Structure 1
């Protein structure tokens, strides 16, 4: 059975939902990029998140913690390195996210990612569809695979493309790498290669910053079998950004998440207490996000932040890399912890996360806590 979730523009992605009668239904979800091209003055009903958004305080932070990765290298002067480790511990505990500079990913590699991502989304809709295959996946791989679970779910103001980048051979038979631009996969895989080195360095530095064995986290990330998923997010200009969200509030079902953005900044918000804080994230810096899996491994010493993306009047792009231990790995909280977390199999946790998402609050992590 096929149903429409709005008739705006006649361009749709498809999503499969489970009806209350237990019968799967295919629903058509408007393509946000095509809606934006129409020059709408009003936001379509299905994208309205709140009739009165003024009940939330939105505060823009004057600055956000930044970590200089060069100062965490083994060649750094010991006093300088110790100071940077203390800064890393502080911001990771307080925010669960932080900026990184001097990270070792060459600017030309990041610029190449920007070029191919913008090149893909500049293609006409039918060329994008022809360029990327799609397949049913619990973690929403492919083009236009948004998190739609019900017919009355407010929709995010976003178009996205998601790919499995590691381990080697994971994408065999899954035609989700764009064929246009022709160098898309080559450019993205070069970025992934350098980003993995950064994530490995961070996992060791975070453990050391918490006064743990430097290998306690990274030992779960087998270099041959660990998973890397890449999600490209495009947020078109929104006619009424105060009424919409680019991405619904969530935590990440990852070990670490690494993000880069371009187009404009100012869309990312993190919940602190009862207030949404806009993260001052310059476009020339990368952002690191603690995921649920690292929260479990750290026994709650680190917390994955509850965050969201707001819609904006200008277009914005981001590329998120999610770094996970192998699906079959059983992760456990560090010894001598009393955070109340328990052992979980990575694949079981990720499956649970996507089965119950989206949720109104940080709920999935309860799966990994002792009763």
Structure 2
């Protein structure tokens, strides 16, 4: 069995750089996922974010979740449930405009910590996009520019808890899907596992590792790389004991960003041609909202059909 790619970012600064870049390339081309260690975010700070997130769940969300389970009779289900996820979540928006001050129930310490955490993840996302540019042979900053739109990228965080589930064989924590956006940075529980990705027809566990950040490729990077990097189906399976924490931050294109395969990559693989359509990110998201838990290929086809009916201007530059 191949081992899940774990990449030590600290080695970028020494003679191991070539090897690290090769590992990132292989992970992007063959896995769609990888795990980062020594990524520059302090371990103490991550411990603090985890502690505050778990406290917030216990204080503000646990009771609500129990009431939802009770009202839907989920503890007594006898057959598989395909239209519901066993998760308790809230969302934070950071860019282009933050809504963190408007989220109820967040105490000041937690609010401040999440703001700082998002700032550090944003920097890490941009560093990673430049590493991908380097591997793809694109000019530095190309992917950031492609995501920019008129107001910069969209960046937000989904904070989830997956409480213990009495029927883990019948209810998914989060149903299988690919992520619609750009690059996803996940800080996951290192004690309670559950995240799995689909590789070569098999579900593989993404190993919980202390202080790591899990990275995965979204649909937009698949389009921009003309399929060289692919977004991958993944899901969360729930456990009968242990509450799993997950903080997923999505660095996505701006809503009006025009997304299309990088011309240089099409040139490099001329015989393959342009496989993916050109579209406005917001249009893709509107479609995705209703089709999240279905295969991505029909979404790309629908965008291709739309492409001929709308006039898309040039890519905005920063």
Once the two structures are superposed, residues 69-99 of structure 1 have per-residue CA deviations (whole angstroms, 9 ceiling, x without a partner) of 2233xxx23x521221111101111010100
Aligned-residue offset at 1:361: 6.4
> More deviation in 217-226 or 246-255?
217-226
Contact 1:349 1:367 in 2 (8 A): no
1:164 and 2:99 are equivalent in the alignment: no
Residues in 2 aligned to 1:121 and 1:310: alpha-carbon distance in whole angstroms: 19
Partner of 2:19: 83
Partners of 1:208 and 1:126 in 2: CA distance:
44
- Structure 1, gaps ≥5 residues long: 1-60, 130-151
**CA spacing shift, 1:126–1:94, aligned 2, 3 Å:** closer
Alignment correspondent of 2:217: 290
Q: Partner of 1:154 in structure 2?
A: 83
Task: Tell whether 2:169 aligns with 1:242.
Answer: yes
**Secondary structure of 1:217's aligned partner:** helix
Measured in 2, the distance between the counterparts of 1:195 and 1:358 equals 26
Q: Confirm or deny: 8 A CA contact 1:250 1:362 kept in the other structure.
A: no
Q: Shift of residue 322 of structure 1?
A: 0.4
Which residue among 18, 30, 39 is the counterpart of 1:103? 39
Alpha-carbon RMSD across the aligned residues, in angstroms, is: 2.6
The TM-score, its normalising length taken from structure 2, stands at: 0.80
**2:9 aligned residue:** 69
Tell me the equivalent position of 2:247.
Answer: 319
2:261 aligned residue:
333
TM-score, L = length of structure 1: 0.70
How far residue 332 of structure 1 moved from its aligned partner, in angstroms, is 1.7
Match of 1:351 in 2: 286
Report if aligned partners of 2:178, 2:292 keep a CA contact under 8 Å in 1.
no
Quote the offset at 1:362 in angstroms. 5.6
Show the counterpart of 1:256: 183
Aligned twin of 2:73: none
Match of 1:93 among 10, 13, 29: 29
Task: Report the more deviating stretch, 317-326 or 273-282.
Answer: 273-282
Aligned counterpart for 2:193 among listed residues 244, 247, 266: 266
Instruction: Give the equivalent residue in structure 2 for 1:211.
Output: 137
Structure with the higher helix share, 1 or 2: 2
CA distance in 1, matches of 2:215, 2:51: 22
Please show how residues 8-157 of structure 1 align to structure 2 within 5 Å: 63-72=3-12, 76-77=13-14, 79-125=15-61, 153-157=82-86
* Distance (whole Å) between structure 1 residues aligned to residue 106 and residue 181 of structure 2: 28
Matching of residue 202 in structure 1 with residue 91 in structure 2: no
Question: 1:135: which partner in 2?
Answer: none
Give ranges in structure 2 of 5+ residues lacking alignment.
66-80, 267-272, 308-318
Give 1:331 deviation, angstroms: 1.8
Q: Deviation digits for residues 238-288 of structure 1, max 9, x if unmatched?
A: 112122210000011111000011262420111112221122231321100
SS in 1 for 2:108: coil
Distance (whole Å) between structure 2 residues aligned to residue 178 and residue 269 of structure 1: 31
